[in-house]
């Protein structure tokens, strides 16, 4: 790993290991029976490893000067996982202080990233960078707008939101993983996983929608 210090190499090792573990657990959660024991257990452990991915990404940037685009990808995956879990727990759109604070903190981090983008440098394709940050802002904007929905309308919508956000969190990780492992195929190795995830989320939502009718 070049001239990296031992602690930097250790942080990278933990980041890669936990990210890979999160992807594997995400696959288990996707393939297992929804609402079943395996789905719930793998989903919770998936969230745990996502948290470790976030911590190690922040350590890489703040302590070791790694490329800040790691934060953009990590914020997108981490925020969607957090919000997807929270909507599952509450099953309502009633405003919660924790949700609002995390959304504002993530929004501030995204704005900071855009402000210092010239200094950070375009290591990845500008299309990928701006679409990633744009997707993050759209999700946050929706999370604030949903508080305006009538409760009786939202009670039939939370499941689809949970499905979309958890699949989106998984595919953000997948895009980061494939884009890093296969840099020779940029930008396709960066955006094709996201297209796959979007189609998977739409298909899953339609499946459960039709199942309820």
71/116 same-domain check: yes
84/61 same-domain check: no
Domain boundary among 25, 43, 65: 65
Token digits of residue 104: 């504002």
How far is Cα of residue 133 from the mean position of the Cα atoms in its chain? 11
Domain boundary among 40, 65, 90: 65
Q: Which domain holds residue 2?
A: 1-65
The predicted structure's pLDDT at residue 2: 55
The total of structural domains in the chain comes to 2
**d(Cα 78, Cα 105) in Å, to the nearest integer?**
12
14/76 same-domain check: no
The predicted structure's pLDDT at residue 66: 64
The predicted structure's pLDDT at residue 156: 80
**d(Cα 73, Cα 178) in Å, to the nearest integer?**
13
147/199 same-domain check: yes
Residues of the chain with confidence (pLDDT) below 50: none
The predicted structure's pLDDT at residue 18: 94
pTM to 2 decimal places: 0.88
Domain boundary among 44, 65, 86: 65
**d(Cα 15, Cα 21) in Å, to the nearest integer?**
10
The predicted structure's pLDDT at residue 1: 52
The predicted structure's pLDDT at residue 60: 81
96/149 same-domain check: yes
How far is Cα of residue 207 from the mean position of the Cα atoms in its chain? 22
């Amino acid at each position: 790993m070049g001239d990296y210090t031992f602690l930097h190499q250790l942080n990278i090792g933990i980041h890669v290991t936990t990210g890979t573990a999160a992807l594997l657990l995400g696959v288990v959660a996707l393939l297992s029976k929804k609402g079943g024991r395996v789905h719930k257990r793998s989903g919770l452990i998936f969230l745990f490893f996502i948290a470790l991915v976030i911590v190690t990404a922040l350590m890489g940037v703040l302590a070791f000067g790694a490329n800040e685009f790691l934060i953009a990808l990590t914020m997108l995956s981490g925020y969607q996982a957090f919000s997807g879990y929270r909507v599952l727990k509450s099953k309502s759109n009633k405003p919660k202080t924790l949700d609002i604070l995390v959304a504002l903190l993530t929004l501030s981090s995204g704005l900071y990233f855009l402000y210092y983008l010239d200094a950070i440098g375009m290591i990845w394709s500008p299309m990928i960078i701006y679409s990633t940050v744009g997707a993050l802002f759209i999700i946050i904007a929706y999370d604030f707008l949903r508080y305006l929905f009538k409760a009786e309308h939202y009670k039939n919508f939370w499941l689809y939101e949970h499905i979309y956000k958890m699949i989106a969190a998984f595919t953000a990780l997948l895009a980061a993983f494939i884009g890093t492992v296969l840099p020779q195929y940029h930008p396709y190795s960066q955006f094709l996983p996201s297209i796959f995830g979007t189609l998977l989320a739409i298909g899953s939502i339609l499946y459960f929608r039709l199942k309820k009718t």
